[in-house]
Amino acid sequence: MSIILECIRTVGRGERGRKPLTFEQAEQVMEAYLSGEVGDDQMAMLLMLIRVQNETNAEIAGFVKAFQSRMPEIGADIDWPCYAGKRASAGKPWHIRAAKILADNGHKVLLHGYHEPMSEREHAEQYLTACQIPLATHAEHAQRLLQTDSIAYLPLRAFAPQAEVMLNWKKRYGLRTPINTVVRALNPGGGKVGLRGSFHPGFQQLHAEVEHHIGKTAHAVISFKGQSGESEYNPKVSQTVWLSHPDGVESYYWPEQFISDIPLPTHCPLGTPQADWILMANTIVATMAAVLFTQTRDRELAIATAYRYWQGSLSA
């Protein structure tokens, strides 16, 4: 029996007989799809069946592993997925300003994402020029940009076009698939640390467990409920964040982190209304702190460093 039929039977049997895919099955079937041995219709059927049952960390990790076997060696420090976009009411994509400030302070940051056509959300790709973040056309280009600019944005279509095809199945079938979770974990730059923002309850823990299941050494990821599901930390809420590292997965309860007298810029390249500048500044600092926490494991130290970076950016 072919791997795709085996997997469809595994997840598609009756209520008592069905079970999730193992890590090995998920990796094998995705590898078969990426190699052209499995057609779109069969793969879409499998993903829909998995989605109905709720994807497991082993399934997502197996899918990611198959993609990562084809990833280039780019050499990033920080892996920064930008896939959800922000609702217009939630403000501009301030997280990319946070990424640029980290890059200006010596961290090599690779952002990657997908801008859904006709989306009404504010996507990172729309504001790259405003934040002086170069757009990479392919993996080798991104590698060069990280050496010269310490930051680059690599569109999904430039390193995993088949994943973009799969994301677009939502239009055809009317249902998002587990690929929305997979793309956030692809880490095309091989970043040593990363962040994962998600919206729905439970996915924060799932993203962290996926990273641990993949089993990369010297790799740490912070996962949290992001603003509109994007990789942007909301400083106005208290929440449980999840940290994945080589030794396991840990959770931390973080109370609200809002600085009312935070210093403000004289202008905002993203076009943020002045009434939102205090929220913008706090969001940028909080997002940088979340990333830095993956290295320090000390939230107060991470916040202090992020605050110092923010102050430095105002005089740059």
Q: What is the CATH number of the domain that holds 13?
A: 1.20.970.10
* pLDDT score of 16 more than 90: no
Q: Are 10 and 46 in contact (CB under 8 A)?
A: no
Pair (155, 61) in one structural domain: no
150: left (phi over 0), alpha (psi -120 to 50) or beta: left
> Does residue 20 sit within a domain?
yes
Pair (287, 264) in one structural domain: yes
* pLDDT score of 117 more than 90: no
* pLDDT score of 217 more than 60: no
Give me the domain span that covers residue 150. 78-159+192-314
**Which residues have a Cβ under 8 Å from the Cβ of 168 and sit 6 or more positions away?**
none
* pLDDT score of 215 more than 80: no
Beta partners for residue 154, in sequence order: 112
pLDDT of residue 218: 58
Band the pLDDT of 167: cuts 50, 70, 90.
very high
> Does residue 204 sit within a domain?
yes
Pair (200, 287) in one structural domain: yes
Bridging pattern class, strands 239-245 and 248-254: antiparallel
> Average pLDDT of 189-218?
89
**Mean pLDDT score of the chain:** 94
Residue 186 CA to residue 115 CA, distance in Å, equals: 16
Q: CB atoms < 10 A from the CB of 268, how many?
A: 18
> Average pLDDT of 201-224?
88
* pLDDT score of 183 more than 80: yes
* pLDDT score of 300 more than 80: yes
Pair (222, 292) in one structural domain: yes
* pLDDT score of 119 more than 60: yes
Last residue within a domain, chosen from 23, 47, 69: 69
* pLDDT score of 118 more than 80: no
> Average pLDDT of 167-193?
92
pTM: 0.95
pLDDT of residue 123: 95
Residue 34 CA to residue 159 CA, distance in Å, equals: 13
* pLDDT score of 262 more than 70: yes
User: SS3 letters for the chain?
Assistant: CCHHHHHHHHHHCCCCCCCCCCHHHHHHHHHHHHCCCCCHHHHHHHHHHHHHHCCCHHHHHHHHHHHHCCCCCCCCCEEEEECCCECHHHCCCCHHHHHHHHHHCCCCEEEEECCCCCCCCECHHHHCCCCCCCECCCHHHHHHHHHHCCEEEEEHHHHCHHHHHHHCHHHHHCCCCCHHHHHHHCCCCCCCEEEEEECCCCHHHHHHHHHHHHCCCCCEEEEEEEHHHCCCECCCCCEEEEEEECCEEEEEEECCCCCCCCCCCCCCCCCCCHHHHHHHHHHHHHHHHHHHHHHHCCHHHHHHHHHHHHHHHHCC
Share of the chain above pLDDT 90, in %: 87
> Does residue 107 sit within a domain?
yes
> Average pLDDT of 125-133?
97
Domain count along the chain: 2
pLDDT digits (tens, 9 = 90+) for 276-293: 999 999 999 999 999 999
The pair of structure tokens assigned to 155 is 């569109």
pLDDT of residue 176: 86
Pair (82, 216) in one structural domain: yes
pLDDT of residue 122: 94
> Average pLDDT of 84-112?
97
- What is the CATH number for 301? 3.40.1030.10
Band the pLDDT of 216: cuts 50, 70, 90.
low
> Does residue 226 sit within a domain?
yes
